[in-house]
Amino acid sequence: MTDVEQTTAPPTPQESELGELAQRVAAAARAGEEIEVYVGRSVEVDVRAYDGQVESLSSASSAGVGIRVVVGGRQGFAYAGSLDGDVIEQTLADARDNVSFATPDEHIALVHPDGVAPVALDLWDDTVLTTPSATKVDIALDLERRVRGADPRVRQVASADYGDVASEAAIATSTGVLASARRTVCSLSVVAIAGEGADSQTGVGFSAARGPDGLDHDKAAADSVERATRMIGATKARSGRCAVVLDPRVTSTLLAIVSSALSGEAVTKGRSFFAGRVGEEVAVPAVLLVDDPTDSRAFGASPHDAEGLACRRNVLVDQGVLQGFVYDSTSARRAGTTSTASAVRGGYASTPVAGCRALHLAPGQFGAEQILADLDGALYVQSVTGVHSGVNPISGDFSVGAEGLIIRGGVLAEPVREVTIASTLQRMLRSILHIGADVEWLPGVAAGQTLAIDDMALSGA
């Protein structure tokens, strides 16, 4: 069946060992100096199947360290992709050397433990490490086969991937913080190409879970096939204004953009359209928007933030009224408040910034079908493109490429492609018609659900 044998077993992570390492390095702090040490380590496997064969099988382990040194409100940072003793020593020396070039800022200091106990979260599934590579290979091959055989209109499976990662990280500071956590994530992702005649369309399906057993193979395969086949024959729609219904994945993307305007850092630096609007109605009254990394269903769930404080539930918008922002320690001091334990970082190579991890909208009453039933002539948006080039979370301008289906008589009708939908984020939040009951926890910083928004500009032919 496959040519692949099991590769060498990855080492089992020992998170306490990382914490000790971080603590040992942070203990080198001299008088008047604060040191934060972040160490991370991960093992991952990626399999790509194509045309009944394994196209690639990658297995890898990575580790690295990021060190912040703060002296008198000046911060220096250095990182390295290794946990070797001499490399860490050199990294600490680099970080120290970098301190003197920063401008002193009274708001910059490392956090001290604030007494909040972390919520116990189980984000780890051992089977990610114990499942043989051969089984992972079979999962990818099976996914490819399913999609290829699902519908005669499926011409190609551009990629069918299985991937998993088991990671652990620890933070220690000379100010007394010590935190560590580990997590696993595995995922399926498949791109189907379906067509008739000269017309080819694509559909992406995926599933993510903490371990291989949690993956929904049927859904990943069916989603990719349905999304590709229903777009066959798509044409450019006429320009005009209409309501749009966002697929849960698109809603998740939208919330992630909104989250950058809710960052305390963006707000304190005058880079958010929400700045100065706490207490005002910024969305329709049905909106309850919460960032809750203590909810273990969220892929971004975490016991502590990237500065080592225990994560907590933060209500950002309630009944449409802006309640506040997410802060790391620096942006909180700048705003004259306390950290909401919302520091995030991209890994050992970057410094902490304020951000959301597990944003979600409180579900409404209706599922997707009932929401559609209410709409005629609206555009159901299956996917969007150009989010990084067409959405500006500072000005709020929103313009993205879209593909999807027109809703006629309450059901999905003809497919539409090569159009854009545009508005401003401010206006979109106040034009929400329905929030779906169908919350879907997706990888990334925000959950998704069906979301209907009124009166957007559709640009097409």
Partner 1 sequence: MTNTDGSFLVERPVAERVLTAALARGGEFAELFAEDRHSVSAVLDDGRVEELSSGRDRGAGIRVVVGDTTGFAHTSDLSAKGLLAAAEAAAGVARSGGGSVVVGLHATSVANPSVVAVDPDHVPKARKVELLERADEAAHAAGAAITQVTAGYGDGRRRIQVANSDGVLVADDQVRTRFSVSCVATGDAGMQTGYESTAFTMGFELFDTVDVEEIARTAARRALVKLDARPAPSGELPVVLASGSGGILFHEACGHGLEADHIAKDASVYVGQVGEQVASPLVTLVDDGTIGPEWGSFAVDDEGHAGQRNVLIENGVLTDYMWDFLRARKEKRPSSGNGRRQSYRHLPMVRMTNTFLLNGIESPDNVIAQTPSGVYVAKLGGGQVNTTTGDFVFGTVEAYLIENGRITEPLRDANLIGNGPEILRRIDAVADDFAMGPGTCGKDGQSVPVGCGQPTLRLTGVTIGGTAA
Residues 234-263 binding partner 1 (CB under 8 A) are 236, 239
Q: Single out the residue of 169, 172, 209, 458 in contact with partner 1 (rule: CB under 8 A).
A: 458
State in angstroms the smallest separation of the CB of 334 from partner 1. 9
Q: Single out the residue of 386, 409, 411, 414 in contact with partner 1 (rule: CB under 8 A).
A: 386
Nearer to partner 1 (CB atom), residue 341 or residue 400: 400
Tokens (6 digits) for 124:
């780890």
Q: Single out the residue of 329, 420, 449, 450 in contact with partner 1 (rule: CB under 8 A).
A: 420
Interaction with partner 1 in 283-322: which residues (CB under 8 A)? none
State in angstroms the smallest separation of the CB of 215 from partner 1. 19
| Per-residue binding letters, 187-216, with partner 1 (x by CB under 8 A) | ----x-x------xxx--------------
90 makes contact with partner 1 (CB under 8 A): yes
Tokens (6 digits) for 201:
């369309």
Q: Single out the residue of 72, 367, 390, 443 in contact with partner 1 (rule: CB under 8 A).
A: 390
Q: Single out the residue of 56, 135, 338, 365 in contact with partner 1 (rule: CB under 8 A).
A: 56
Part in contact with partner 1 (CB under 8 A); list of ranges 120-128, 208-216, 386-394, 436-444: 386-394
Interaction with partner 1 in 101-140: which residues (CB under 8 A)? 101-103, 105, 133
Nearer to partner 1 (CB atom), residue 184 or residue 201: 201
167 makes contact with partner 1 (CB under 8 A): no
State in angstroms the smallest separation of the CB of 296 from partner 1. 26
30 near 122, Cβ under 8 Å?
no
155 makes contact with partner 1 (CB under 8 A): yes
Q: Single out the residue of 212, 308, 396, 444 in contact with partner 1 (rule: CB under 8 A).
A: 396
335 makes contact with partner 1 (CB under 8 A): no
Comparing C-alpha atoms, which of 456, 442, 452, 457 is closest to residue 256?
442
4 makes contact with partner 1 (CB under 8 A): yes
349 makes contact with partner 1 (CB under 8 A): yes
